[in-house]
Amino acid sequence: MNFLGIKVLGSGAYVPTSILSNKQLESIVETSDEWIKARTGIKNRHIATTENTVELAYQSAKQAIEHANIDPTEIGLIIVATFTPEQLTPSTACLVQAKLGLNDVKMIAFDLNAACSGFVYAMSVANQFLKSGAIKKALIIGAEVLSKIMDCDHRNTCVLFGDGAGAVVVEYDQDTTESFYLNSSGDERGVLTTTPIAVVNPLTDNQAEPIHFQMNGQEVFKFAIHAIKETIMELLEQANLTIDEINLIIPHQANKRIIDKVVKDLKVPSEKFFLNLDNYGNTSAASIPIALKEAIDTRHIKSGDKIMLIGFGGGKTWGGCMISL
C-alpha cells in the first residue's frame, strides 16, 4: 500500500470494549436514538473506563507492527496525533515508545495536535523525515479519549464522540509521487474548541475548571463541507486525476450529514466515501486510521485502488493525502 511518497507496511486499530449506545444516552441527557441517528448517523460509540490514551495508542501500535511483520527496532520515529493526552509531559509518543520496549533504540518521538486533522498532518510530517533519509521507518498513531472532556449535559456534543486509536507503520517509497495538502485558519471565534486552561497560581484568584469540548454545530457543518471539497480538488489537481478515477475516499468520521452534502455537491455515488461512524462515533485523530484499518479488513480496498484520506477539525485545520495499494 503506498501513500504517495511513503509505503504503508502495516495497520492497526483498537477501541475500548465498553459501548455507549444511543439508547443508553437517553437516560443521561435529553435526547433519543432517533434524534441522534437522524442528525449524525451514529448508533454506538466506544468509551474508555480503565484505559487511557497511552494504552489505546500502544494497543493499536502493537497491531500495526505485527501486521507490518517488522522488527520494532527498525522504527526511528513515533508520532502520536492527539488532543486528549494523559498528561502534558512526557508525550504520549514517548510513553508508547517505552511500552513497546524501544527505550534503548535511537528514536524521535513526539505528539502532534491538529485535532481531527491530526493523522493526515502526522503523515505529512513523517513523510519529510522519511524523505530526508534521517529515518527508515515510522510509526504514526491517532489516539483519543474524548469522553474525558465531554460535557454530558450538552447533548449537541456528548452524543457525537467516542474513544479509540489507529496506527500505521510506514517507510519511504522513492518510486511514487508525493500528494499531500494541508491548510489551517485560526479559530478566533471558538467554532470548534475546548474551554481554556485557566492561569491558576499564587498571584491570581482564578479557579481551575474542568476542560470541556465546545462547538458551533452549524458553523462546523459549513466549514467541514468546504474543507472536504477543497482538499479533494487540491489532491486531484496534484495527482492529475478526476474524482471518477478515485476508488475510495476515507474522510474523518464526524457526521453522516456532512458527507451526504459533499456527495450531493460533487455529484458522486455515496459508495465513494467509506463510513464507519455508526459504530464508533467521532474519534477525532483516531477516526481515519480506524476507518482505514476496517476498509482493509473488509476488502473495501484492493490492490491498484486509488484512495484519499481527508481530515478536518479544530484549529481550524484540514487536509489530506492520496494513497494507492
Q: Say yes or no: 154 and 187 in one domain.
A: no
Q: Of the candidates 202, 278, 261, which has an alpha carbon nearest to the alpha carbon of residue 227?
A: 261
Q: Say yes or no: 149 and 212 in one domain.
A: no
How far out from the chain centre does Cα 105 lie? 27
Residue 69 to residue 71: CA distance in whole angstroms: 7
Classify the phi-psi angles of 101: left when phi > 0, otherwise alpha if psi is within -120 to 50, otherwise beta.
left
| pLDDT at residue number 6 | 79
| pLDDT at residue number 193 | 83
| 255 catalytically annotated | no
User: Which residues form the domain of 18?
Assistant: 2-172
| 69 catalytically annotated | no
Query: Chain-wide mean pLDDT for the chain?
Result: 92
Write down the catalytic residue from 94, 158, 282, 321.
282
Rounded percentage of the chain residues whose pLDDT exceeds 90: 72
Let me know if 50 is exposed, middle or buried by CB neighbors in 10 A (0-12, 13-18, 19+): exposed
Weakest-pLDDT range from 105-114, 205-214, 218-227: 205-214
Residue 76 reports pLDDT greater than 70: yes
Q: For residues 20-39, give the mean pLDDT.
A: 89
Write down the catalytic residue from 46, 67, 252, 300.
252
CATH number, domain containing residue 203? 3.40.47.10
| 252 catalytically annotated | yes
Q: Say yes or no: 188 and 234 in one domain.
A: yes
Q: Of the candidates 250, 234, 118, 114, which has an alpha carbon nearest to the alpha carbon of residue 178?
A: 234
Residue 44 to residue 23: CA distance in whole angstroms: 9
Look at 298 and 7; give whichever has higher pLDDT.
Answer: 298
| pLDDT at residue number 7 | 84
Residue 316's pLDDT band (cuts 50, 70, 90) = very high
| pLDDT at residue number 306 | 86
Write down the catalytic residue from 116, 158, 255, 300.
116
Q: Say yes or no: 255 and 297 in one domain.
A: yes
Domain boundary among 127, 150, 172: 172
Split into its structural domains, the chain has a count of 2
φ, ψ of residue 108 in degrees (nearest 5): -105, 125
pTM above 0.85, yes or no: yes
Q: Say yes or no: 245 and 150 in one domain.
A: no
Q: Which three cell numbers stand for residue 39?
A: 442528525
Residue 2's pLDDT band (cuts 50, 70, 90) = low
Q: Say yes or no: 31 and 156 in one domain.
A: yes
Residue 3 reports pLDDT greater than 60: no
| pLDDT at residue number 81 | 98
